[in-house]
Structure 1
Amino acid sequence: MKIQKIVFLLWLLPSSIYLFAQQKTSPFESEKSTGYRGNDIPELRYYDDGFSFLVLGDFGRVGDYYQKDVARELGNAAIVSNAECIISVGDNFYPNGVASTQDHHWKASFEEIYNNPGLYTDWFVALGNHDYQGSIQAQIEYSSVSRRWNMPATYYSKTFTTAKGEKLLMLFIDTNPFIDSYYKNPQKYPDLAKQDTITQRKWIEETLNTSDPAIKWKVVVGHHPLYSGGKRKNNKDTASFESKFADLFDQYKVDAYICGHEHDLQIVKPKKRYTTQFLSGAGSEVRETGNREGTVFAAAEPGFMTFTIVKNKMIVQTVKANPASASVLHTYEITK
């Protein structure tokens, strides 16, 4: 019997060593700088020494369409990428914004939908045209109600510091007053006439014209796109908005313009332009999209984008949120 026990233990020993080795080389421990973490979004790259944030837009629909699917995977991505914050490009509440800080929309379209622990971080929020159909002041005031909702004014800036001590300057602009056709319907957009586009544009130029040598990256966040291959490809408002801001962004070396409004996912960088546009407006409803001059990527899929600054690169991953899982559709890099 003793001999049989010894033989059994000797047979068991290699298997035990193998299992122990497998535990010691898990994805969490084997990758010190870059690799894969977890299995919720297996293709999503993470960077331990990177500065990451997530971007979504056009989402507030009481969980309808794909909002819950996108929210679920946004939470997974926030944990996988160790996201510093969430960026919303506007149209936070459909169809007519919110009426007050006590509006049920806050609970039904935000608090109860984005409840993954990874999403209890800072949200920096821009205003969309549907937000303007309600009280924009209520969205500003909700910053005092919610720990994570940040909208100190209709437009504002925030400077982040990366792991390497470099700075990212991010401007959140209010694009709605710059859309000419909205002024034809003052009842629909009651707060529009109160906005001063001259003052805001001056602020944008002064803020981008920084002399801080530590600022390596410049990002502008707004709702309306400069370019689109989607529903508004030949839209007069889109062409007008491009004429107002594309040259200005190039002049001040804005690395990325992040927007929504179109309910799809697009990356567009026209020839001879410095600024790359990232359109992430598929947080709930999805529409057909297409290409235009400068289109790098376009997809009519529900989802969002992850941004990571690591070393001399900004790495953008476009994530599709399926009903039961997620996948990375495209990866794009800006190198400086």
Structure 2
Amino acid sequence: MAAIFSLVAASSFAEFHWFEQPIKMDASLSLLAVGDWGRKGTFNQSRVAEQMGRIGEELDIDFVISVGDNFYDTGLVDVYDKSFEQSFTNIYTAKSLQKQWYAVLGNHDYRGNAVAQLDPILREIDKRWLCMRSFMVHTDIAEFFFIDTTPFVKKYWKHPKKNHYDWRGVAPRKKYVSKVLKDLEMALSKSTSIWKVVIGHHTIRSVSEHGDTEELVDLLLPMLQEYGVDLYMNGHDHCLEHISSDDSPIEFLTTGGGSKAWRGIYNPNKVDTLRLFYDGQGFISLQLTKTDAKVVFYDVNGCILHSWNRTKGWHPYI
């Protein structure tokens, strides 16, 4: 596994830690992204993991991204919860997946002991695991901005008796969300990276069960547009989706097919251009060079469902 180095950012980046991720000698990088997976191998989680291992070897991936809802149904109980090993360590066993995993929290993770997933003790149990609320991963050709989206969603705060949420270190909501947005804006404004990728659990654009997340459309999307973000990657809806913005270069990538899927819900979105909707399990790969980006969507059998390419330097909005 390539070493990573934590660089604690300046005080203006209080919510963001910065991690340096080495890439290949030819200045390219490749990764896999998956979400909504932690079910101890059930609901085809093990099959998805097997195909991730195969594709990961083919692409010689540098790291893996988890877009949240890492452990169902209610996160982890504590740092010694066996679900961590049963749903992560014992499932993603392929040699190619023994790389750094960068993870954000999802709403189901907040229903348990959210702080446990952030605890460095888990990295002692499995050194691949790195989960924080909001943080940055820097490479020579791309920067990845991981955002804690669950506290943005107002409905999670309104019915505490229905579902418990672990708001330690987060409440009050408005102050926390404001701080995350302020730090993200500062990070994006200072970024000179060729590619900018933002990762959060919740959808911004989706045609499936959860649809667009209103709070992210209102608060986050304008910032992504202003600072030229290329990709927004998320889970939450248990499917695979690719939606292209019609008024900016942003591509919205949903990769929530890590385990339980097939919701049977499709609600066409007239705002932007739908390129893929697949109501089943799977994952995505992302390959980047200084000039090119390639995204590929795979189903539970590792078959290619859809691919997309962009060459940097030419785009109708650049």
TM-score, scaled to structure 1: 0.78
Does 2:258 align with 1:279? no
Find the aligned partners of 2:230 and 2:92 in 1 and give their Cα distance.
Answer: 29
Q: Percent identity?
A: 31
| 1:253 alignment partner in structure 2 | 228
- Which stretches in structure 2 are left out of the alignment for 5+ residues? 1-25, 313-318
Q: Map 1:88-127 onto structure 2 (within 5 A).
A: 88-127=66-105
> Following TM superposition, where does structure 1 have runs of at least 4 consecutive aligned residues deviating by more than 6 angstroms?
none
Q: What SS does structure 2 have at the residue aligned with 1:130?
A: helix
Find the aligned partners of 2:265 and 2:33 in 1 and give their Cα distance.
Answer: 19
Out of 153, 159, 163, the residue aligned to residue 138 of structure 2 is 159
**1:264·1:288 contact (CA, 8 Å) conserved in 2?**
no
From the CA coordinates, give the structure whose radius of gyration is larger.
1
Find the aligned partners of 1:77 and 1:194 in 2 and give their Cα distance.
Answer: 42
1:289: how far off?
A: 4.8
Find the aligned partners of 2:290 and 2:156 in 1 and give their Cα distance.
Answer: 42
**1:54·1:305 contact (CA, 8 Å) conserved in 2?**
yes
| 1:265 alignment partner in structure 2 | 240
Residue 142 of structure 2 aligns with an amino acid whose one-letter code is L
1:50: how far off?
A: 3.2
Residue 189 of structure 1 aligns with an amino acid whose one-letter code is Y
**2:231·2:250 contact (CA, 8 Å) conserved in 1?**
yes
1:211: how far off?
A: 5.0
Does 2:33 align with 1:55? yes
TM-score, scaled to structure 2: 0.83
Are the structure 2 counterparts of residues 289 and 74 from structure 1 closer, same or farther at C-alpha, using a change threshold of 3 Å? farther
Find the aligned partners of 1:207 and 1:311 in 2 and give their Cα distance.
Answer: 20
Aligned residues: 275
User: CA RMSD of the aligned region, Å?
Assistant: 1.6
Find the aligned partners of 1:314 and 1:288 in 2 and give their Cα distance.
Answer: 31
Does 2:153 align with 1:176? no
Q: Map 1:176-255 onto structure 2 (within 5 A).
A: 176-187=150-161, 188-191=164-167, 193=171, 196-210=176-190, 212=192, 215-233=193-211, 238-255=213-230
**2:245·2:252 contact (CA, 8 Å) conserved in 1?**
no
1:241: how far off?
A: 2.0
Q: What SS does structure 1 have at the residue aligned with 2:171?
A: helix
Q: Which has the higher helix share?
A: 1
- Which stretches in structure 1 are left out of the alignment for 5+ residues? 1-47, 162-166
Residue 292 of structure 1 aligns with an amino acid whose one-letter code is N
**1:289·1:298 contact (CA, 8 Å) conserved in 2?**
no
**1:265·1:301 contact (CA, 8 Å) conserved in 2?**
yes
Q: Map 1:285-304 onto structure 2 (within 5 A).
A: 285-286=260-261, 287-290=263-266, 291-293=268-270, 294-304=273-283
Find the aligned partners of 2:115 and 2:274 in 1 and give their Cα distance.
Answer: 36
Does 2:292 align with 1:317? no
